[in-house]
Amino acid sequence: MTDTPIAHVNTARRSSLAGAFVPTKIYRSPQFGALIAAVGVYVFFAVVAGPNGFLTPAATAGWVNATAELALIAIPVGVLMISGEFDLSVGSVVGASSITVALGSTVLGLPLPLVIIAALGVGALTGLVNGLIVNATRLPSFIVTLASNFILLGLALGLSRVLAGVSTVSVTFDEPWSTLFASTFFDLNVTVVWCLVVGLVAYWVLAHTRMGSWIYATGGNLDGAIKAGVPTNRVRLTLFIASGLGAALVGVLQAGLYHSGNAVQGQGFVFQAPIVAVIGGVLLVGGYGSVQGIVLGAITYGVVSIGLFYTGWTSDWLSAFIGGLLIIAVLANDAIRKSALKSGGRTRAPRARTKEGL
């Protein structure tokens, strides 16, 4: 009771090498598996597809662009998953957002900043509605957002046909909006910049703010979080809105970069986003994961999808490859989480039964 423990702490920290090559802190972190996966697939395609040009600047820009777009959606979706909820409505939000921009600007002749705000509003509103329904009913968000994905897809398609007669509408961005949402430097889309900004903010929030602790607690033990006074409903609502906003931003960027809005584009993200999160070390049941991991998961996905193209094999193999990675990732995550729940310190003395989980 009298001596201060601080001195012990530091020695304990330093000695936590566990006799292995990698410090325990690192291999038990949620992103460790994701790092291995990302480096692994990159090396694989560098060897297999390098001679066909996978290592060229153009190919590199290709996978970086793909990664950035995916990460912009997967980061908020993954953080939401850490809080214990899913968002499958992101697919339709991408399409609805892009068609909102195109319809508003081209068909209705509204100013670009207004339609961009409206498009982001579609995402925020979808997130708000998802969050309110999940909070009020406590139904599984998997089902709630699957339903809203279909509802929004139908609305966007229907509205687009009513207003324009088609589901794809072209659009051109003028300055300064084209720099912000439609520009490209050395083959790299402006999406990369947005992705860096969103990634840094999300990392900051999750790792360093009270909100971050609340997110982990909400997903890790809802009852305990509530008893500790964590505003779990507000946490969920905020993250659903963030997830809608991320997808809407991708919709705006796609409209700008590809000069068209399409109500049905984006459905691929419905499952890509959670897959990326899981490859990135996010636990399916929530409570564990990191933004670094999610970004590494997106890199893995981006490298695989572009790398396969450069191998010259048909892209038919992509799904099989990703599916295999997903299984490996789930197994690895499980092992890492179990290892994290083993003694964290330098303990060697046998302990009386340690309960895992609660």
Partner 1 sequence: MSTAPIPVLELEHVGKSFGGTHALTDATIGVFAGEVHCLLGDNGAGKSTLIKVMSGIHQPTSGRVLIDGVETPLVSARFAQDRGIATVHQDVGMIPLMSVARNFFLGRELTRGRGPFRRIDMKRAREISLEHVRSMGIRRVHDADQMVGTLSGGERQALAIARAMYFGAKVLILDEPTSALGVKEASIVLKQIEVARSRGLGVVFITHNASHALAIGDRFTVLIQGRVAAAWTRGERSRNDVLDLMAGGEVVDDLFEKVTGEAAS
Binding site for partner 1 (CB under 8 A): 1, 4-6, 8-9, 12-13, 16, 25, 204, 208-210, 212-214, 216-217, 220-221, 223-225, 227-230, 283, 287-288, 337, 340-347, 349, 351-358
Q: Strand pairing partners for 169?
A: 261
Q: Which residue lies nearer to partner 1 by CB, 113 or 344?
A: 344
Q: Which of 14, 21, 1, 27 is nearest to 342 (CA)?
A: 27
- Report the nearest approach of partner 1 to the CB of residue 142 (Å): 21
Q: What is the DSSP string of 138-160?
A: ---HHHHHHHHHHHHHHHHHHHH
Q: Which residue lies nearer to partner 1 by CB, 170 or 343?
A: 343
- Report the nearest approach of partner 1 to the CB of residue 342 (Å): 6
Residue 60 Cα distances to 41, 52, 87, angstroms: 14, 13, 30
- Report the nearest approach of partner 1 to the CB of residue 344 (Å): 3
Q: Which residue lies nearer to partner 1 by CB, 69 or 85?
A: 85
- Report the nearest approach of partner 1 to the CB of residue 157 (Å): 38
- Report the nearest approach of partner 1 to the CB of residue 300 (Å): 23
CA–CA gap between residue 170 and residue 257 (Å, rounded): 11
CA–CA gap between residue 42 and residue 304 (Å, rounded): 8
Pairing between strand 184-185 and 260-262? Answer: unpaired
Q: Which of 301, 248, 255, 250 is nearest to 274 (CA)?
A: 301
- Report the nearest approach of partner 1 to the CB of residue 353 (Å): 7
Q: Which residue lies nearer to partner 1 by CB, 137 or 354?
A: 354
CA–CA gap between residue 242 and residue 270 (Å, rounded): 16
CA–CA gap between residue 149 and residue 141 (Å, rounded): 12
- Report the nearest approach of partner 1 to the CB of residue 34 (Å): 17
Q: Which residue lies nearer to partner 1 by CB, 2 or 319?
A: 2
Q: Which residue lies nearer to partner 1 by CB, 212 or 293?
A: 212
- Report the nearest approach of partner 1 to the CB of residue 338 (Å): 10
Q: Which residue lies nearer to partner 1 by CB, 245 or 322?
A: 245
CA–CA gap between residue 149 and residue 22 (Å, rounded): 42
Q: Which residue lies nearer to partner 1 by CB, 181 or 214?
A: 214
Burial of 242 (0-12, 13-18, 19+ CB in 10 A): buried
275, two tokens: 């897959």
Report residue 316 CA to chain centroid gap. Answer: 24
Q: Which residue lies nearer to partner 1 by CB, 128 or 346?
A: 346
- Report the nearest approach of partner 1 to the CB of residue 14 (Å): 11
251-266 burial, b for 16+ CB within 10 Å, e for fewer? bbbbbbbeebbbbbbb
349, two tokens: 């003395």
